[in-house]
Amino acid sequence: MLASSLRMFLGLLLVAACQPEPTTTPTDTTPTTAPDAVPDDAYAIAGGVTIPRLAFDEAIAKASAGGPASRDDRGLRQRIGIALVTRELVRLELARLGAADGAEVARRAGPLAAALERDAPMTVPTWWSMPPMSSEDMPGTIVVAADHLAPADDAALAAAYEQSKPRWTSEKAWVRVDGWALRFDDATGVPQCDSYIAKYRRCSAKFPAATQPTVIADLSRQATQWRGNAEDPEYRELLKTECEAAETEAMQQTTSMGCDWNSDAKSDEKKATAARKAELRAVAEDARARLVAGADPLAIAEALGGVATAKLMLATDELGKKVAASTRGLAAGKTGKLVDDAGAWTVVRLVERHPAGTLPLEVVKSDVADDLRIRLLAAALEALPTTLRGKYDVKLHAAVESLDAGP
pLDDT of amino acid 109: 87
Q: Is the pLDDT of residue 20 over 80?
A: no
Per-residue confidence (pLDDT) for residue 362, from 0 to 100: 94
- Using an 8 Å Cβ cutoff, are 141 and 381 in contact? yes
Q: What digits encode the pLDDT tens for the residues 359-397?
A: 999 999 999 998 899 989 989 999 999 999 999 999 999
166 touches 359 (CB < 8 A): no
Global confidence as pTM: 0.63
- Residue count (the chain): 407
Alpha carbon of residue 317 to chain centroid:
31
The pLDDT score that the predictor gives to residue 101 is 80
Lowest mean pLDDT across 132-136, 221-225, 306-310, 357-361: 132-136
What is the C-alpha separation between 188 and 273, in angstroms, rounded?
Answer: 13
Q: How many percent of the chain have pLDDT more than 70?
A: 86
Q: How far apart are CA 325 and CA 180, in angstroms?
A: 16
Q: Which residues are CB-neighbours of 263 under 8 A, at least 6 positions away?
A: none
Confidence at 33, pLDDT banded by 50, 70, 90 = very low
Res. 128 pLDDT band, cuts 50 70 90: confident
**Does an H or E element contain 179, and which?**
strand 174-183
Tell me how far apart the alpha carbons of residues 86 and 384 are, in angstroms, rounded to a whole number: 8
Helix residue ranges per DSSP H, 170-327: 191-203, 212-229, 233-254, 266-292, 297-304, 321-327
For CA atoms 296, 301, 302, 307, the dihedral sign is negative
> By the 8 A CB rule, do 384 and 141 touch?
yes
Res 72: pLDDT? 74
What average pLDDT does range 326-354 have in this prediction?
93
**How many H helices and E strands in the chain?**
13, 9
| Residue closest to 178 by CA, chosen among 300, 18, 272, 56 | 300
pLDDT at 190 over 50: yes
Q: Give CA–CA dist 306/387, Å, rounded.
A: 32
pLDDT band for position 179 (50/70/90)?
A: very high
Count of beta carbons in the 10 Å neighbourhood of residue 63: 22
Average pLDDT taken over every residue of the chain: 84
Query: In this predicted structure, what is the pLDDT of residue 112?
Result: 84
The pLDDT of 223-239, averaged and rounded, is 84
pLDDT-derived band at 212 (thresholds 50, 70, 90) equals confident
pLDDT for 123: 59
The more confidently predicted of residues 279 and 127 is 279
pLDDT exceeds cutoff 90 at 216:
no
Q: Label residue 238 by pLDDT band (50, 70, 90).
A: confident
CA angle 153/157/161 to nearest 5° reads 175
DSSP H or E segment with residue 189: none
Beta bridge partners of 315: 174
* Tally of CB atoms within 10 A around 115: 20
Residue 69's pLDDT band (cuts 50, 70, 90) = low
Question: Is it the case that residue 21 has pLDDT exceeding 50?
Answer: no
Q: What is the pLDDT of residue 7?
A: 35
Check pLDDT > 70 for residue 403: yes
